[in-house]
Every structure is written in C-alpha cells, then in structure tokens.
Structure 1
Amino acid sequence: MSTLAAPAMPTSRTEPTPRERGSRHLAFFATLALALVCLAWELWLAPTGRGTLALKALPLLLPLAGLWRYRMYTYRWVSLMIWLYVTEGLVRGTSERGIGMALAWIEVMLSVAIFVACAAQIRMRLAHARQSADHPSQES
C-alpha cells in the first residue's frame, strides 16, 4: 500500500524561504531552457552532422523533478555535471561562427546560471542546518 508523499522541503521548516524558492526556480527553468536550446541548436538552428549531438539534452531532463522537489542530492550532482556544458559551450563559442557561436555562449550563460543557483541552494540549506544544530531550541 503506497501513498503519495509531499515534496521534500528544503529544510525542517514547513515553507522554503523566498531565496530558496528563487534559487530553485532559477535552477529548474535554466536547466529546462538549456535542454531546449541544446535540442533546437542540434536539430534545427545549426545542426552538426546528423543531429546526434541533440542527445546531449537528455541528461538535462533527468534532474528536473529533483530540482523542483528540493532534493539536495540533485542540486549537488547537477552543480558538478553542468561544467560539461560550460566546457562544450566555451570550446564551441571560440571555434564556431555565426549562430553556432551565439548558441554556444547562450549555453555557457545558462550553465553558469544553473551552477550559481545550485550552489546558492546548497549553501542556504547547509547554513540553515548548521544554525539548527547550533541552536536547536530556536527552531520553529
């Protein structure tokens, strides 16, 4: 017998702070936007070869549920995985011309935004956990 569990909150509080919600929204929507940019880039806007590079968008779809549900593990691994996209964007941004170069720099900007949002989420939640451990009687 299984019941649907409510999404895990970022901390032991019942509601996430506005900053936690903001970093979650940035991470989620920037990841979704990067997946769409990767698909459009490789399938329609500036395809390379037969479009098989569009498969690079698939790993970006995997963390979306975890990002939305405040899964700390997801934020941690996305903050590491996203550097592959930064690297690809930097290489292609400095080697391609035209729309391919513009799309590569968009990839870099979205990837850095994802990293910053994930890092912010992790830092806020770890700071709250430290504060809760130091002052357990002040927890509401």
Structure 2
Amino acid sequence: MTNDKRFSLPHTAAVASLLLLIAVSLSWELWIAPLREGGSWLALKALPLCLPLRGIFKGRVYTFQYCSMFILIYFAEAVMRLFDASVASRWCAAAALLCSSVFFVSCLAFVKQARKAAKGV
C-alpha cells in the first residue's frame, strides 16, 4: 500500500462524490427536472463546484478544509428541494443530498488523515 494521501479512501470518495454532484447538478437543471422547459439557468450552480477540482485532485488539505464548509450550501439546497412536487426533482435532490453528504464526510476524514500524517502518528 502506498503512503500517498491521494490514493486513500477519503480522497477517492471525495473526488467521486464531487464529480457525481457536478453531473447530478447539470443533468437535474438541464434535462431531468429543470425549473423551466428547455433547461434552467440554475445549471450554473455546478460552476462553483468545478473551481476546487484541481486542489481536490491534488490532495491539497486547504482545499478540502474550505470545501467542507462550501458544500453545505448544496446540502441545504438538496434538503429543501426534497419537498418539491415533481418526483424527478425529488430523486435528483436525494442524489445531490447523498453526494454532498459523502463529500462532506470524506473531506473531514481526509483532513484528519492528513493532520495525523503530519504529526507522524
């Protein structure tokens, strides 16, 4: 097993859940259940999720730290939209809720693992 933190379970889970959240956000607002017929400008909400991708891929602790707070906005939106009238929108909200939850927990685990490695424990 390698000591590189980028190949750890928390890192892999964070990368996968962030990419899935971007995919869910785009498909939700463009094709599956847009607020308006033909797509919605809310698809732009996926753009801020793309900004920390480089730091997440490289395993930068600072990026994981601020993303753990940043992702809570998407978590809150997913919780609110779980009560939407459309079934398709509720499924998308559930998927976004799962992805944001996994990403949040993965960020915390990654930062904890990095701090433990920095202390040499």
TM-score by length of 1: 0.78
Shift in Å, 1:17: 5.3
Pick aligned residue for 1:34 from 21, 27, 30: 21
Query: Is 1:23 the counterpart of 2:2 in the alignment?
Result: no
Shift in Å, 1:128: 2.1
TM-score by length of 2: 0.89
Q: State the secondary structure of the residue aligned to 1:40.
A: helix
Aligned length: 118
Q: Which residue of 2 aligns with 1:88?
A: 77
Aligned CA RMSD, in angstroms, stands at 1.8
Segments of structure 1 that go 5 or more residues without pairing to the other structure are 1-13, 133-140
CA distance in 2, matches of 1:94, 1:115: 22
Q: Which residue of 2 aligns with 1:123?
A: 112
CA distance in 2, matches of 1:53, 1:90: 16
Q: Is the 8 A contact 2:29 2:40 kept in 1?
A: yes
CA distance in 2, matches of 1:95, 1:44: 16
Pick aligned residue for 2:55 from 42, 62, 66: 66
Larger Rg: 1
Higher RCO (C-alpha under 8 Å, 6+ residues apart): 2
Pick aligned residue for 1:48 from 17, 27, 35: 35
Moved over 3 A (4+): none
Q: Which residue of 2 aligns with 1:6?
A: none
Segments of structure 2 that go 5 or more residues without pairing to the other structure are none
Percent of pairs with identical residues: 33
CA distance in 2, matches of 1:96, 1:76: 35
Give deviations 1:55-97, integer Å, cap 9, x for gaps: 0001111111111111111101110000001000000002333
Q: Is the 8 A contact 2:5 2:11 kept in 1?
A: no
